Amino acid sequence: MTESAASTSAGAAGSAPATVSDVRQRNRRQALRSIILSGQTSRAALAQESGLSIASVTNLATELIAEGLVIEAGSVASRGGRPVTLLAPNPAGAYLLGADVGERGVAVELFDLSMTRVDREFRGGREGESLDTIIQDLHEALDALRIRNPDAWKNLTGIGLGLPGIVEWSEDGHQVLYAQSLGWPAIAVTELVSHDIPIFAENGAKTLTMAELWDGAARGVDEALVVLLGRGVGLGIVSDGQLAHGLMSSAGEWGHLKIVRNGRTCRCGGRGCVEAYLGADAILDSWREAGGSFEGSGWRAIGDLFDAEKAGDPIAVAVVEELVNTLGSALGGLVNLTNPQRVVIGGWVGLRLMESVAGRVEAAIRAEALRRPGGQFELVACRFGGDTVALGAAMMPLGALMNEPRGNRST
């Protein structure tokens, strides 16, 4: 990522000149990010990578070591023969939680400061989960993690929530979730978590994008589309290296873009939405209506569809062809609109799709886009697989840690 994902609240572009503290914050963020991403690095390499002087890097490193976030991790011989001390993230220096909050349950993951996942808890899996049961799931998952990881719990920076809807900041400074498609009432995100932990929240497709920007398939890419295909359908738009939010945050709500006028009814209440054709339930409904038979409604059923297609089952062949063409048309329009360098497809349906028919999806998008932008992107699968939303959500507390020394925060 350039500066996006983990740092959206700080260092935003504006007309005011950068202050000394802005510059310090940016340098700190850059140094800590490089140290975490590299695993271990030298002060000289950090200076070279960041363009900062050795003196500045040395000061930053001293500060980060004093905070317990960075450690000196042995030394290697330099070309001149003098040993060079390496810097590494201190895994136990801080812990971060990321949660993928879906309509069928929650997956909560605990990461150390090297961004290694140290524990994970899933709750849910029932049909027809309500908002209340999701809150209960989250509570139970956090309890389980707290009991198993008491030391990490004492050093938690916060929890990031990847949520199934639009997440807006209200005028009084609270984040509110609007999950229209799920029929949930608007709810302050603080009401989702009963534990006393700093809370950060964002739409799940946007947190998936944050993870892919951090160290995944969109790392270092300034213009990208990161597509989430699961039960719901979502999108993160990366423009100039930044995740787009729009005026209040709904930018990227591609799932409810109308692709068929007066088309299929969507659970948002509208008709003809992308999600009503490309969401997991919609795909499986199409298969069932066409005469396909399968069990369940999840990962395995979608896998069965692609297996049947591969085996030449004519019904599955027709359903997958329609799916590929619809996705091509829906993404082809987005390619024209945003002119991406890279299109990243993730989510559990997206990963199945990329495993089975990536080449055909790519051809369909190119065929449906204008020739110039249609020839200027590459299509790749998202890197982190099924856990991307939770990892990306953990980027939010990480961003807070990168932005400010811990003693300075009010939380």
User: Would you tell me which residues interact with Zn ion (CB under 5 A)?
Assistant: 256, 266, 268, 270, 273
Nearer residue to Zn ion within complex by CB, 18 or 260 = 260
Q: Which two tokens stand for residue 394?
A: 């953990």
Nearer Cβ to Zn ion, position 96 or 282? 282
Q: Under a CB-based contact definition with an 8 Å cutoff, are residues 32 and 63 in contact?
A: no
Strands 156-163 and 95-101: parallel
168: amino acid identity, one letter? E
**Which position has the token pair 């993730």?**
346
Q: What order do you get walking across the sheet with 166-169 strand by strand?
A: 166-169, 175-178, 187-188
Burial call 268-283: b when 16+ CB within 10 Å, e when fewer: bebebbbbbbbbbebb
Helix (H), strand (E) counts: the chain: 13, 16
Using the minimum distance from each CB to Zn ion, give the nearer residue, 124 or 279: 279
Give 273 or 389: the residue with its C-beta nearer to Zn ion: 273
Q: How far is the CB of 260 from Zn ion (least distance, A)?
A: 11
The minimum distance between CB 331 and Zn ion, in angstroms, equals 17
Least gap, CB of 338 to Zn ion (angstroms) = 20
- Geometric angle at alpha carbon 122, from 354 and 253, rounded to 5°: 50
What's the chain's length in residues? Answer: 411
Alpha-carbon separation of residue 43 from 36, 38, 52, 53, 242 (angstroms): 13, 12, 10, 10, 27
CB of 128 to Zn ion, least distance (A): 19
Taking the alpha carbons at both ends of the chain, their separation in whole angstroms is: 26
* Closest distance of CB 386 from Zn ion, Å: 24
By C-alpha distance, which of 63, 67, 71, 65 is closest to 24? Answer: 63
Question: Whose Cβ is closer to Zn ion: residue 189's or residue 266's?
Answer: 266
Q: For residues 260 and 290, which CB has a smaller minimum distance to Zn ion in the complex?
A: 260
Tell me how far, at minimum, the Cβ of 277 lies from Zn ion, in Å. 10
Beta carbon nearer to Zn ion, 93 or 255: 255
Bridging pattern class, strands 175-178 and 224-229: unpaired
Tell me how far, at minimum, the Cβ of 125 lies from Zn ion, in Å.
24
Nearer to Zn ion, 33 or 256 (CB): 256
Contact 212, 396 (CB under 8 A): no
Tokens encoding 125: 């899996």
Q: Which is nearer to Zn ion, 255 or 392 (CB)?
A: 255
CB of 258 to Zn ion, least distance (A): 8
Spatial contact of 247 and 166, defined as CB atoms under 8 Å apart: no
Q: Least distance to Zn ion from the beta carbon of 181, Å?
A: 6
| Residue type for position 145 | L
Q: Supply 47's token pair.
A: 């200076």
Token reading at 190: 């603080």
Choice between 186 and 367, CB closer to Zn ion: 186
Report the nearest approach of Zn ion to the CB of residue 164 (Å). Answer: 13
| DSSP tag of 17 | P
Q: What is each CA distance from 174 to 156, 171, 188, in whole angstroms? A: 21, 7, 7
